[in-house]
């Protein structure tokens, strides 16, 4: 739990200076930062191509791509939310190497 709190704090600091189009963008991105931050061990999502992110999230949401937590999280997102989220994530610093 201590490591999770540390990762969330680092994520908050790392993304504090990013300009978002609106507060709705911030609300969409916050759940991602805990597990997919620059210091996390999960696959990077920030800066990846929007089409790739969107396809992956849709596949996880539908169950076509196995996932543990993501399928449950993505059920709360509409297709429009996923498209918007993919666009936001793709525009953020931290492009995949």
Summarize pLDDT for 48-78 with one digit per residue, the tens.
999 999 999 999 999 999 998 999 999 989 9
Q: Which candidate, 29, 36, 27, 41, places its Cα nearest to that of 86?
A: 29
Q: Mean pLDDT throughout 30-56?
A: 86
Q: 7-20: per-residue pLDDT in tens? A: 444 445 445 445 54
From the centroid of its chain, how far is CA 34? 9
From the centroid of its chain, how far is CA 82? 10
pLDDT of 85 reads 93
pTM of the model: 0.71
């Amino acid at each position: 739990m201590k490591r999770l709190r540390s990762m969330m704090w680092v994520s908050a600091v790392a993304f504090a200076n990013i300009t978002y189009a609106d507060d709705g963008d911030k609300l969409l991105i916050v759940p991602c930062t805990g597990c997919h931050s620059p210091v996390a061990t999960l696959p990077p999502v920030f800066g990846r191509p929007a089409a790739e992110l969107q396809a992956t999230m849709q596949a996880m949401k539908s169950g076509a791509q196995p996932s543990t937590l993501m399928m449950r999280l993505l059920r709360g997102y509409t297709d429009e939310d996923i498209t918007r989220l993919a666009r936001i994530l793709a525009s953020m610093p931290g492009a995949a190497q």
